[in-house]
Amino acid sequence: MRNPPPLKLGILGSGRGSNFIAISDAIRARQLHATVSLVISDLADAPILSLARARGYRTWACPAGRFKTKLEPDLEAQLAAQLRAADIDLVILAGYMRVVKTPLLAAFPRRIINIHPSLLPAFPGLQAWAQALAAGATVSGCTVHYVNEILDGGDIIAQARVPVLPGDTPETLHTRIQAEEHWLLPAVVGRFAAGKSA
């Protein structure tokens, strides 16, 4: 049985990059047959970029443009070109806080995945853990899904669940959900790496 080459990952994030670290750790531990080829943020001072540089990964800060919730088409086209130039196999949104539009979607058809901190289709959008708590949910979790033009609306690949416990605050619930994100996302990437993508 010949091993396939490692899956080349492009990771996009706007924050502290804990899911990026989980993926990087899984690769370092040889639990995931992939390589992080490029880490991109829409925020030049996002911790994910400094963390990525500290681990020796190539990074790129995308110009943020005029909007906060999306990139203008020409900027997103630049972002897609960076990923294409790096020959990325799979694009991972790991806390990337903008809606993805046609330039990126068309460049990587069914090759962009996102992790979202709720059991979609429940609670799309921001602070999903706080939404779940406010709604009185008794279970929550996280979802890895394909990205399409609908916010948190693409086909679901996998989900992991956690209980919502008495006395939970948004922070305690968020922490419990993130512990699940950090094994589920590398596992799903491993599924792509093994060529089992649907």
Supply the residues annotated as catalytic. Answer: 116
Tokens of 147: 């990205």
Token pair 């948190």 is at which residue?
A: 152
Residue 175, CA distances (Å) to 66, 116, 120, 154, 171 in order: 32, 13, 18, 24, 6
Query: Is 183 an interacting residue with respect to its own copies (CB under 8 A)?
Result: yes
Binding to its own copies by CB under 8 A, coded x per residue (else -) over 110-139, reads -----------------------------x
Which one, 107 or 133, has the nearer CB to its own copies? 133
In a 3-state reduction of DSSP, which class is residue 176? helix
Among 28, 163, 171, 175, binds its own copies (CB under 8 A): 163
Q: Which is nearer to its own copies, 67 or 183 (CB)?
A: 183
Cα 36 from Cα 22, distance rounded (Å): 12
Integer CA distances (angstroms), 32 to 26, 188, 197, in order: 5, 10, 15
Task: Give yes or no for residue 184 binding its own copies (CB under 8 A).
Answer: yes
CB of 156 to its own copies, least distance (A): 5
Applying CB under 8 A, does 162 fall inside the site for its own copies?
A: yes
> What dihedral angle (degrees, nearest 10) is formed by the CA atoms of 187, 189, 191, 197?
140
Q: How far apart are CA 82 and CA 65, in angstroms?
A: 17
Shortest distance in whole angstroms from residue 147 CB to its own copies = 15
**Is residue 155 close enough to count as binding its own copies by CB under 8 A?**
yes
Nearer to its own copies, 61 or 160 (CB): 160
Amino acid at 81: A
Q: Which residues bind its own copies (CB under 8 A)?
A: 30-32, 139, 155-163, 176, 179-180, 183-184, 187, 190-191, 194, 196, 198
